[in-house]
Every structure is written in structure tokens, then in C-alpha cells.
């Protein structure tokens, strides 16, 4: 088990953020969860933005070869890459959230 030493001011901020939580490890996990949820929201926003812009889901965008239809324009290529990153990010973050949340269910968590 790793031991981490926090600056007093850092510990103070952590205690103020989660006054009802006594376990420092649980506090850190809650911060990580909040960050994962923030990133997940950003990725979902990206999906929604591009779905509205192109009028299709990402899978349809790929299947219809929209980048090819639009002559591989810089904008469409950039959108496709950002969209693909968001799709992969959602899968990864949902897996990480599940793993993180399972720690709370482990004995001695």
C-alpha cells in the first residue's frame, strides 16, 4: 500500500470540500469521480454537437462516408477526429467509473 503525504493546506482544502468524509482515500476517489464525470459530460456534449451538425450518429457518419462525400475537407476531418475521440473517451471513462465505484464495494475500501 502506498503512502502519500499531503501539504497541510491541501489537506485543509480536501477537508473543506468533503467535511462529512473522514477517509482521505475516499475523498480522493470522490474527486477522481467528479473529474471523470466532468470529462464524460464534455464528451457527451461533443457527440450531441456533431450529431446535430451532421444530422446523423457517429456510426452513420462513418457508414455514409461523410468525410469522403465532403471531399475530405479540413473541417470535416477535424470534426471526425474529435467525434471519434469523444466516442472512445466515453467508453473509457464509463469503464473507469465502474472500476472506481467498485472500490467502494470492496472490503476494507
The candidate with the shortest Cα–Cα distance to 11, out of 1, 38, 25, 2, is 25
Contact (Cβ atoms closer than 8 angstroms) between residue 47 and residue 83 = yes
Set of cell numbers at residue 20? 462529512
Distance CA 14, CA 17 (A): 5
Set of cell numbers at residue 43? 464528451
Residue keyed to cell 467535511: 19
Question: In the prediction, which pLDDT does 108 show?
Answer: 63
Say what the pTM is: 0.85
Domain contains 43: yes
Task: Report the number of distinct structural domains present in the chain.
Answer: 1
- Cα of 102 vs its chain's centroid, Å: 17
Question: In the prediction, which pLDDT does 60 show?
Answer: 97
Domain contains 99: yes
Domain contains 71: yes
Set of cell numbers at residue 98? 465502474
Distance CA 34, CA 37 (A): 5
Domain contains 16: no
**What's the mean pLDDT in 90-97?**
98
Domain contains 56: yes
**What's the mean pLDDT in 27-48?**
97
User: What are the pLDDT digits (tens) for 38-93?
Assistant: 999 999 999 999 999 999 999 999 999 999 999 999 999 999 999 999 999 999 99
Domain contains 13: no
Helix, strand, or coil (residue 3): coil
Domain contains 9: no
- Cα of 21 vs its chain's centroid, Å: 24
Question: In the prediction, which pLDDT does 50 show?
Answer: 98
- Domain hosting residue 62, numbered range: 26-103
Asked if the model's pLDDT at residue 106 lies above 90, the reply is no
Domain contains 83: yes
Amino acid at each position: 500500500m502506498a503512502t502519500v503525504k499531503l501539504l497541510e493546506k491541501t489537506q485543509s482544502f480536501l477537508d473543506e470540500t468533503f467535511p462529512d468524509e473522514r477517509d482521505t482515500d475516499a475523498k480522493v476517489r470522490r474527486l477522481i469521480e467528479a473529474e471523470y464525470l466532468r470529462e464524460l459530460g464534455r464528451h457527451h456534449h461533443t457527440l450531441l454537437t456533431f450529431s446535430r451538425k451532421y444530422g446523423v450518429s457517429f456510426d452513420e457518419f462513418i457508414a455514409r462516408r461523410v468525410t469522403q462525400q465532403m471531399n475530405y475537407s479540413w473541417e470535416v476531418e477535424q470534426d471526425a477526429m474529435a467525434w471519434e475521440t469523444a466516442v472512445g473517451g466515453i467508453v473509457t471513462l464509463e469503464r473507469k467509473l465502474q472500476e472506481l465505484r467498485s472500490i467502494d464495494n470492496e472490503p476494507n475500501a
